[in-house]
């Protein structure tokens, strides 16, 4: 997640923005004092919320204040995000929490840019230039609980012996001796640590998996465990699960990856076929089906590279095969094959960050590519910084959606950005329609899809105007681009006779000026002329304008393409608050039920007249 650079004053905004640019962060400012990309009303709850969601925090405020705010939340050290306090004048950078989870590194980077010394107090970092309990990427510590004691021994003057090859340990300032009483071991061998030993696992193993379509996940996991046991290696040395790209959507492959908490990576058939000379069990049958002579062995070998080798050749289960390969050094999963692409279909609501769900924001942050109408991408503001944008004009939505799916088919994480809710007259439907009709490539059909809801235009309009959706309602699009006009006429008539509150989407366009007038005239035959009509324009954006008119006075010229029209039912009412503002609401019960409904509600509260 993007680090949050938190400031309480306008004077510190330039420094906050400088730091945010350095670390690809987001500036959060106290409302009314610091005009930042994201505002908050109270600093305590905001810091607590950021901490709870695991977001790195760089607070341009007194370290004591940050400590007092977060102290009640401290629990699991290993789960805490980095937290730093930075002086408002840039004279001090203090990592407070998560020193070995990135805070010390952030402090060094920021301090170097500001020309000051970072206030790092972690003993291991200061004395030896290394954190034994948080090894770098590609290395995992088996017995994390022993790290504190071992570090204390070394700080007290003990010497260490390094058994194995780990450049990051060799480059540290840890005192080394052939008879050192502390042992720092680097091995994938599956064994328990000895006394005064830290056991580091290099992530240098890759498990290749081949499966039949629909193979049971339990069988794949069981075979994977059997192969690791045969090799007598630790599961912590497993860097990735690998397979052919034809299996990018195979549940069994992803189940194995999830079981071992490692990523799944996929190779095309040509890459796997290049490994044919190194295969222990080439198969003509597999070649005929996939275009390569071995999936599990080929994928494992392709992942560990030309200097790696098979540790366990192909082993067969009922409908699964598995092979294990070892590289001479840790394997970076992001540098091998490609991931299964993901498509996040997100609704950003009316556009303002305050109406965007945390899930949507997290998906956009995760995405490498953003696809959407240019205005919608602009509305993301700083959240879109650093992403590859694929801008599309209004119209040709199918081309836009297909482009997003094909990008994901290349192994990317793609956010398809919609305004309002992605599933209401928006792009989510097109995604599944293209899957259903075969309108995308085989690679795009294998992507992972997640749809996240947003505040719809009808919800936003209703909230701004009161509670007009308090009873049965429906939505009708007046656009005849995809729906024949006679079908729209029938729906308007049905909603009118059914006395639904109606939210009209796409009420007018430059060429369509008569449909809304027709709907108004139909509705006037079924509900009072004074029925409240809400006209909501530019919701959540600059130029927002919400007004309530009577149905008989609805002027089509007051409506544009950015306006949502909500027409009340025969029961929708207006009420004036003490400040004179008018609100529209639809009672939860109709007139013949209202009295008994209110009485029942009072009885439940214990305040009925009886």
pLDDT tens, 346-361? Answer: 999 987 777 888 899 8
Residue predicted with more confidence, 251 or 578: 251
What's the rounded mean pLDDT across residues 439-460? Answer: 95
Whole-number percent of the chain with pLDDT over 70: 95
In the 3-class helix/strand/coil scheme, how is 418-464 assigned residue by residue? ECECCCCCCHHHHHHHHHHHCCCCHHHHCCEEEEECCCCHHHHHHHH
The CA-atom distances, in angstroms, between 385 and each of 24, 179, 365, 369, 556 are: 8, 53, 9, 11, 39
What's the rounded mean pLDDT across residues 442-460? Answer: 95
Fold of 205-335: Nucleotidyltransferase; domain 5 (3.30.420)
State how far the Cα of 607 lies from the Cα of 571, in Å rounded to an integer: 26
Residue-averaged pLDDT of the chain: 90
Indicate if the pLDDT at residue 394 is higher than 60. Answer: yes
Determine contact, residues 202/186, Cβ cutoff 8 Å: yes
Q: What is the pLDDT of residues 76-115, one digit of tens each?
A: 777 789 999 999 999 999 999 887 678 888 988 999 999 9
> If we measure between CA atoms, which residue out of 357, 330, 468, 373 comes closest to residue 421?
357
Segments making up each domain of the chain, as ranges? 4-121, 139-202, 205-335, 342-455, 462-585
Pairing of strands 320-326, 309-316: antiparallel
Q: What is the pLDDT of residues 269-299, one digit of tens each?
A: 999 999 999 999 999 999 999 999 999 999 9
- Which CATH architecture fits 4-121? 3-Layer(aba) Sandwich (3.40)
The first and second tokens of residue 445, run together, are 């059909």
Q: What is the pLDDT of residues 10-65, one digit of tens each?
A: 999 999 999 999 988 889 999 888 888 788 889 999 999 999 888 999 999 999 99
Is the Cα torsion angle 176, 179, 180, 184 positive or negative in sign? Answer: positive
- Which CATH architecture fits 462-585? 2-Layer Sandwich (3.30)
> If we measure between CA atoms, which residue out of 10, 12, 84 comes closest to residue 47?
84
pLDDT the model gives residue 499: 96
H or E stretch covering 201 = strand 197-202
Indicate if the pLDDT at residue 434 is higher than 80. Answer: yes
pLDDT the model gives residue 39: 83
pLDDT the model gives residue 126: 60
pLDDT the model gives residue 124: 62
The CATH code belonging to domain 342-455 is: 3.40.1010.10
pLDDT the model gives residue 386: 82
Q: What is the pLDDT of residues 458-502, one digit of tens each?
A: 999 999 999 999 999 999 999 988 899 999 999 999 999 999 999
pLDDT the model gives residue 98: 83
As a whole number of Å, the CA-based R_g of the chain is 31
Pairing of strands 369-373, 413-418: parallel
Burial of 293 (0-12, 13-18, 19+ CB in 10 A): buried
**SS3 of 486, please?**
helix
Indicate if the pLDDT at residue 315 is higher than 60. Answer: yes
Determine contact, residues 189/232, Cβ cutoff 8 Å: yes
State how far the Cα of 300 lies from the Cα of 315, in Å rounded to an integer: 13
State how far the Cα of 574 lies from the Cα of 565, in Å rounded to an integer: 16
* Residues of the chain by 3-state class (helix, strand, coil), percent to 5: 40, 25, 35
């Amino acid at each position: 997640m993007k680090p949050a650079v938190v400031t309480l004053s306008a004077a510190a905004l330039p420094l906050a923005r400088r730091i945010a640019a350095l670390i690809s962060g987001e500036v959060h400012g106290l409302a009314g004092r610091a005009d930042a990309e994201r505002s908050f009303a109270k600093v305590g709850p905001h810091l607590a919320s950021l901490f709870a969601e695991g977001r790195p925090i760089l607070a341009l405020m007194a370290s004591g204040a940050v400590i007092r705010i977060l102290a009640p939340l401290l629990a699991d050290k290993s789960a805490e995000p980095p937290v730093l306090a930075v002086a408002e004048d840039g004279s001090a950078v203090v990592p407070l929490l998560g020193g070995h989870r990135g805070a010390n590194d952030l402090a060094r980077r920021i301090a170097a840019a500001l020309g000051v010394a970072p206030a790092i107090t972690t003993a291991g970092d200061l004395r030896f230039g290394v954190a034994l309990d948080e090894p770098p990427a590609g290395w995992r510590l088996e017995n994390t609980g022993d790290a504190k004691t071992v570090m204390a021994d070394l700080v007290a003057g003990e010497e260490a012996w390094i058994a194995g090859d780990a450049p990051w340990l060799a480059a540290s300032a840890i005192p080394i001796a052939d008879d050192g009483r502390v042992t720092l071991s680097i091995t994938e061998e599956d064994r328990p640590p000895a006394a005064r030993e830290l056991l580091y696992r290099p992530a240098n193993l890759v498990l290749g998996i081949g499966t039949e379509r629909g193979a049971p996940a339990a069988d794949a996991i069981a075979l994977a465990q059997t192969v690791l046991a045969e090799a007598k290696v630790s599961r912590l040395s497993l860097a990735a699960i690998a397979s052919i790209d034809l299996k990018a959507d195979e549940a069994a492959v992803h189940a194995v990856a999830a079981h071992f908490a490692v990523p799944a990576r996929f190779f095309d058939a040509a890459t796997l076929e290049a490994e044919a000379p190194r295969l222990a069990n080439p198969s003509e049958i597999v070649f005929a089906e996939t275009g390569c002579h071995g999936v599990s062995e080929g994928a494992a070998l392709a992942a560990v590279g030309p200097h790696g080798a098979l540790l366990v050749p192909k082993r067969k289960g009922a409908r699964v095969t598995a092979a294990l390969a070892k590289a001479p050094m840790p394997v970076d999963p992001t540098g091998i094959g490609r991931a299964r692409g993901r498509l996040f279909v997100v609704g950003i609501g009316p556009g303002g960050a305050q109406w965007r769900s945390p899930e949507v924001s997290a998906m956009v942050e995760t995405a490498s590519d953003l696809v959407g109408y240019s205005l919608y991408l602009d509305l993301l503001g700083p959240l879109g910084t650093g992403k590859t944008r694929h801008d599309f004009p209004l119209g040709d939505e199918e081309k836009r959606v297909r482009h997003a799916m094909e990008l994901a088919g290349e192994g990317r994480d793609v956010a398809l950005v919609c305004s309002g809710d992605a599933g209401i007259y928006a792009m989510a439907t097109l995604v599944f329609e293209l899957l259903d009709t075969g309108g995308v490539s085989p690679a795009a059909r294998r992507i992972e899809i997640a749809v996240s809801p947003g505040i719809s235009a009808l919800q936003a309009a209703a909230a701004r105007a009161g509670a007009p959706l308090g009873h049965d309602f429906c939505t009708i699009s007046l656009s005849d681009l995809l729906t024949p006009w006679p079908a729209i006429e029938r729906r308007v008539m049905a909603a009118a006779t059914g006395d639904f509150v109606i939210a009209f989407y796409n009420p007018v366009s430059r060429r369509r000026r008569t449909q809304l007038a027709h709907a108004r005239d139909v509705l006037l035959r079924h509900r009072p002329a004074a029925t409240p009509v809400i006209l909501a324009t530019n919701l959540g954006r600059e130029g927002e304008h919400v007004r309530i008119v009577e149905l008989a006075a609805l002027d089509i010229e007051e409506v544009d393409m950015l306006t949502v029209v909500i027409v009340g039912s025969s029961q929708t009412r207006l009420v004036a608050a003490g400040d004179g503002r008018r609100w529209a609401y639809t009672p939860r019960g109709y007139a013949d039920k209202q009295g008994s409904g209110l009485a029942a509600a009072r009885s439940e509260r214990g305040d009925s007249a009886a």
